[in-house]
Amino acid sequence: MTTTAPGTVPVEGGGPARDRVYAWLRDGIISGELEGGRFLDELWVSGVVGVSRTPVREAFHRLEAERFISLLPRKGAQVRTVTARELEEVYQSRRLIEGHALGEVCAARAGAPAEMAGLIEAMDRAGKDRDWFAVSGLDRQFHRAIVNAAGNSVLTELYDTLRSRQQRVAVRALEARPERLSIIDAEHRQLVAAIDAHEPAAALRLLNEHLRPVSEVVSALERG
């Protein structure tokens, strides 16, 4: 089955062809333009991105390793559906990493990273346009700022491996419960205040509440 994504045009930009194919497919899957269950044909993708089939195949294997797609014999590549279990596991991983980072940042008594306030405002603007892809990307930058401020490069690299799955889960959660954006905004502001006050216990409590899978979102997803 060959697919046609909304507004497909040849993808421009520098860098290796496999990276351009990967980035285009990844962003399409995260944003939901390439929805769960959809089949992707090598020939179609190569035509859209303007490359040969070899870099498409390489991008497919990378996306499969990152659990964005499944490669099925004689059927091609199928976009995986975000499941409730995946959402819960991503949140659990984030609580472990971000919780540790919060403790380090509060102990350093340097306050919240400067960029966090601006990211809150940018999320608010993107949310008014219901641009969940942009909102999820800004949300990730907000939380990554905490991890990066802890000063542990290995921990930051580990956190970065969650990037695409973290953002995809966030998009699905916002699609399921867009009204939660105001709650997210309030919790972000409270988290910044707790970091500025050097209160690790309060910051951790807020983070755990913030990264708690919402039952209405979980129930809207397949169990997996």
Q: What is the pLDDT of residue 111?
A: 96
Look at residue 34 and tell me if it is in a domain. Answer: yes
pLDDT in tens, 6-38: 344 445 556 789 999 999 999 999 988 999 899
Distance CA 127, CA 32 (A): 16
In angstroms, the Cα distances linking 101 to 7, 43, 176, 190, 221 are 41, 44, 29, 17, 30
Look at residue 7 and tell me if it is in a domain. Answer: no
pLDDT in tens, 92-112: 999 999 999 999 999 999 999
pLDDT band of residue 5 (cuts 50, 70, 90) is very low
Same domain? For 96 and 201 the reply is: yes
Same domain? For 61 and 112 the reply is: no
Going through the chain in order, the beta strands assigned E by DSSP cover 39-40, 69-72, 76-79
Q: What is the pLDDT of residue 9?
A: 43
Domain boundary among 64, 79, 94: 79
Per the structure, the complete domain to which residue 49 belongs is given by 17-79
**Mean pLDDT score of the chain:** 88
Same domain? For 208 and 133 the reply is: yes
Confidence check: pLDDT of 62 > 60: yes
Distance CA 45, CA 56 (A): 7
Confidence check: pLDDT of 71 > 90: yes
Identify the three-state secondary structure at position 131. Answer: coil
Quote the number of domains for the chain.
2
Distance CA 126, CA 67 (A): 27
Domain boundary among 79, 105, 128: 79
